[in-house]
């Protein structure tokens, strides 16, 4: 469970946690598929002197989905790599909060733009059916990896909007610690209230 879903009501947190688990499964499955494919390439090439037919074509689709789902999960957990020098220099909670709000606004604007472009990219692919672009050998439609790009940006935008909502709702007090410190030790809001009522 991430810091994001822990702060939301159970009706919102439960489906979001399900989506994040599905993304984690896709990331893991993608890594396994890539590792097994490269193992087979080595065996076929150096063991039998042949070539694994068009493996780069299915790996292209797998790698796009894996990369963009990982980016979305990192966005949900606020674990993207960044060069945040100000975070170490600023100690005032109110200034930190305002800085976070500003960063989230910029992030939402940029992500909204690239999500829209991703939608236009998909729209162009659908409009060209049945003459849409495909890979040369296996005829995998380019729509498949491009759908992964769009879904990744869509979820990154959604998670950024939810982080922004929580920043505004909770004010400068949230989060008081690094997200990764509390990500695994929190419960959804409604579960906390149920526990307190007992």
- Kindly calculate the radius of gyration of the chain based on its CA atoms and give it in whole angstroms: 21
At 64 the pLDDT is 96
Q: Report the alpha-carbon angle 150-135-28, nearest 5.
A: 50
- In the chain, % of residues over pLDDT 90: 51
Q: How confident is the model at residue 182 (pLDDT cuts 50, 70, 90)?
A: very low
pLDDT > 90? residue 154: yes
| Listed range (133-142, 163-172, 188-197) with the worst mean pLDDT | 188-197
Sign of CA dihedral 32, 33, 34, 39: positive
Helix (H, G, I), strand (E, B) or coil at 141: strand
At 72 the pLDDT is 95
Q: Any residues with CB less than 8 A from the CB of 122 and at least 6 apart, and which?
A: 143, 146, 147, 150
Domain definitions of the chain by residue range: 3-197
Q: Any residues with CB less than 8 A from the CB of 121 and at least 6 apart, and which?
A: 146, 149, 150
- Residue 120 CA to residue 99 CA, distance in Å, equals 32
Q: Any residues with CB less than 8 A from the CB of 6 and at least 6 apart, and which?
A: 13, 182, 183, 186, 187, 188, 189
Q: How many CB atoms lie within 10 A of CB 190?
A: 14
Q: Which residue has the higher pLDDT, 190 or 154?
A: 154
- Burial of 50 (C-beta count, 10 Å sphere; 0-12/13-18/19+): exposed
Q: Which residue has the higher pLDDT, 2 or 32?
A: 32
Structure tokens at 60: 């292209």
- Residue 189 CA to residue 11 CA, distance in Å, equals 10
């Amino acid at each position: 469970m991430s810091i994001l879903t822990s702060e939301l009501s159970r009706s919102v947190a439960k489906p979001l946690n399900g989506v994040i688990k599905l993304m984690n499964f896709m990331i893991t499955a993608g890594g396994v598929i890539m590792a097994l494919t490269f193992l087979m390439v080595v065996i076929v090439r150096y063991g039998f002197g042949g070539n694994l037919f068009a493996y780069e074509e299915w790996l292209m689709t797998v790698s796009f989905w894996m990369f963009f789902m990982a980016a979305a999960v990192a966005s949900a957990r606020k674990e993207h790599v960044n060069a945040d020098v100000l975070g170490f220099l600023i100690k005032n909670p109110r200034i930190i909060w305002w800085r976070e709000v500003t960063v989230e606004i910029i992030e939402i604007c940029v992500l909204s733009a690239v999500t829209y472009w991703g939608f236009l990219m998909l729209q162009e692919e659908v409009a060209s059916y049945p003459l849409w672009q495909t890979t040369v050998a296996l005829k995998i439609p380019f729509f498949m990896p491009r759908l992964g790009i769009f879904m990744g940006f869509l979820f990154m935008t959604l998670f950024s909007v939810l982080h922004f909502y929580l920043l505004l709702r909770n004010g400068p007090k949230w989060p008081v610690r690094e997200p990764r410190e509390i990500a695994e030790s929190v419960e959804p809001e409604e579960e906390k209230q149920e526990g307190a009522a007992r």
